[in-house]
């Protein structure tokens, strides 16, 4: 129960902290790994289903929109982190997929306007060319 920390290191990817500890009673050493316990809200889909938030889904949809565009992985990761910060800051147990989609569109608009138009045209399910023209005009202004 009584231990002392002999050494602390942060993992290269920053996902956890590694600590070398020593027992005060027997002086044996052991290692512990500490990870943050973050609970994202559930995502409520348009059809009412509730699913767990998955960073990979947000990343894959953004990467698809950004395919063959001059945007670095670091920029994409930064955008996803900003989205996740908003999710956590809400303090809600549930958030709609629509709200997340809007945040993704805002981040894409900052990163690359072509990717923004790609994502928005699919996400908003345009029914005619006039809706598409309106979006393109909005980006140009």
Give me the phi and psi of 47, to 5 degrees please: -85, 5
Q: How far is it, in rounded angstroms, from Cα 39 to Cα 34?
A: 16
- Per-residue pLDDT tens for 32-82? 888 877 789 999 999 999 999 999 999 999 999 999 999 999 999 999 999
| pTM as predicted | 0.68
How many Cα neighbours within 13 Å face the side chain of 42?
8
Judged by DSSP in three states, 76 sits in helix
CB-CB contact of 75 with 85 (8 Å) = no
| Residue 128 pLDDT | 76
What DSSP character marks residue 12? T
Of all residues in the chain, what percent carry a pLDDT higher than 90?
57
> What average pLDDT does the chain have?
89
From residue 5, give the alpha-carbon distance in Å to each of 16, 19, 37, 41, 64.
16, 7, 21, 34, 45
Say what the alpha-carbon torsion angle 62, 68, 73, 74 is, to the nearest 10 degrees: -90
Q: How far is it, in rounded angstroms, from Cα 41 to Cα 96?
A: 10
Question: Per-residue confidence at 134, pLDDT binned at 50, 70, 90?
Answer: confident
Tally of CB atoms within 10 A around 68: 7
What are the residues facing 136 on neighbouring strands? none
Q: How far is it, in rounded angstroms, from Cα 75 to Cα 32?
A: 32
Q: In this predicted model, which residue has the larger pLDDT, 103 or 127?
A: 103
């Amino acid at each position: 129960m009584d231990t002392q920390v002999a050494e602390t290191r942060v993992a290269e990817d920053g996902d956890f902290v590694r600590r070398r500890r020593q027992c005060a009673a027997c002086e044996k050493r052991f290692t512990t790994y500490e990870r943050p316990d973050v609970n994202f809200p559930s995502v409520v889909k348009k059809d009412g289903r509730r699913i767990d938030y998955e960073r990979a889904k947000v990343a894959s949809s953004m990467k698809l929109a950004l395919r063959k565009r001059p945007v670095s992985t670091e920029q994409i990761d930064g955008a996803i982190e900003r989205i996740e910060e908003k999710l956590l800051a809400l303090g809600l147990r549930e958030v709609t997929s629509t709200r997340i989609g809007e945040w993704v569109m805002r981040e894409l608009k900052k990163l690359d306007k072509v990717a923004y138009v790609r994502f928005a045209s699919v996400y908003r399910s345009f029914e005619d060319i006039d809706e598409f023209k309106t979006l393109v005009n909005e980006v140009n202004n």
